[in-house]
Homo-oligomer: A and B are copies of this chain.
Amino acid sequence: MASMTLKNINPNILKVEYAVQGPLVARAGEIEEELKRGVEKPFKSVIRANIGDAQAMGQVPITFIRQVLACISYPELIGEGNFPEDVKERAREILNSCSGGSIGSYSAPYGIDHIRRHVAEYIERRDALPANWQNVFLSAGASTAIKYCLQLFSNDTHGKKNGVLTPIPQYPLYSACYAKYGLTQVGYYLDETTNWSLSIEELERRLNEAEKRCNVRALVVINPGNPTGQVLSRNNMEDIIKFVYKHNLLLISDEVYQHNIYAEGIQFFSFRKVMMELGAPYSSIELASIMSASKGYMGECGLRGGWVELTNFHPDVQAQLYKFMSAMVSPNILGQAAIDCVAKPPLPGEPSYDLWLREKESVLASLRERAKMITDGLNAGQGFKCNIVQGAMYAFPTVILPPKAVAAAEDAKQPPDVFYAYRLLEETGICVVPGSGFGQAPGTHHIRMTILPKTDDLRTMIHSIKTFHQSFIERYT
């Protein structure tokens, strides 16, 4: 008899779901294998529009970051003269900040001080407000950072579970972590009719309802939005901050897409800037702001670099959090080095600046073009309603499904959007994530697709989706 069975393992593990890499994505992998074996399909390759993984879709890395990584990995390259002087200088600085001068040594569990200082300087420039580097900790990607923040209050002593106000739709890392840590997910709906803004009435209502079943401890806001692609207005953010203050919550602001702003006239504000500029008493709320090297113009998902800035945390609580991290030793040094390059990119006049700027602008301009292309493409004609992709990397259109298709999905024992996404994958090779993986208003159906396929592929993809949709509708009318 096995000692570990489905009946006696941690029941929270059974509950964890992560739609971005769920069974539909596994099926996409199988289809790729079938194509390799020569199985006939109505398409030649799978397009993975399910995950915000820019370099997997062909985005070219930023040269400066990669040259620095190469030099610190193999420091002999610094002496050999083939790299720009600022790359070598950066590599020397990072190595000097490592124990024993090597990336092969541990750093402190909260990261290398030298790099934490650069992050604080980045935040100061971004917000035009002072920042304290000791409130910044580095992490192996945003996912680990979010985990630490949630674990801080995940085990309640007062008999009632702790809850977190979380958008619907949400990025499923949150729901997966709640399942894992036994937190209660208190969903609040984003308003699709006002481009996925937060309604304070809705927050109040959900908080009020939830208080019977749990202690609501925190509010998660993802801005720019994942999967929804909105960028919050400053007014909306001010109202959110006032709500957080009123109810004495922790605000967890997931700001990993802060570089990914596309729509005309739209600007990203950090929650930290808005709360500080609101002034007392709102500037006293506790905030954990999360950033990553995986998104932005860098797209370095595989390096697992991230950071959190803590604002207004009680020093004893912050000390406990830092102590808590120490058993996990240190985040990987190369990810930290990538964060150093993100926080402190080349300056005008430095040898790498022109290339860095050109590469950065080129990535962002192309994403901007693709964001517009996907919205315009889906909204032309019938079948989809898609809000403007103001930021991040995703479109989250409503898919208009006829009643017969909904009935067919019921027969197949699948939610209608899952049924639709499987058909889309099998018939076109396009892998998207069904809206139910993120949550959506009852009776509505969505898909999330990234804007990351290359421009030509994206054009083909939009065309294929619309053709598929037409034929799907015809089948069920």
By a beta-carbon cutoff of 8 Å, the part of chain A in contact with chain B is 1-6, 8-14, 16, 18, 21-22, 51, 53-59, 61, 66-67, 69-71, 73-74, 77, 80, 82, 98-100, 102-109, 140-141, 143-144, 147, 151-155, 157-158, 172-173, 176-177, 180, 182, 217-218, 248-250, 285-286, 298-304, 312-314, 316-317, 320-321, 323-324, 326-335
Contacts and interface: CB of A to CB of B under 8 A. Distances in A.
B100 A55 contact: yes
B327 A177 contact: yes
Contacts of A99: 53, 55-56
Interface centre among A10, A51, A103 (most CB of B within 10 A): A10
Contact of A67 (B74, B104, B304, B327): B74
A6 B320 contact: yes
A210 B199 CA distance: 53
Contacts of A71: 70
Interface residues of A, dominant DSSP? loop
B105 A327 contact: no
Given A143-B327, A320-B13, A326-B21, A300 B104 contact: yes
B51 A313 contact: no
Nearest to A149: B4
The 3 closest A-B pairs by CB, nearest first: A176-B327, A56-B99, A55-B104
A152 B4 contact: yes
B327 A180 contact: yes
Nearest to A288: B4
Given A302-B330, A316-B6, A69 B61 contact: no
B105 A55 contact: yes
A314 B102 contact: no
Given A10-B153, A182-B155, A327-B180, A314 B5 contact: yes
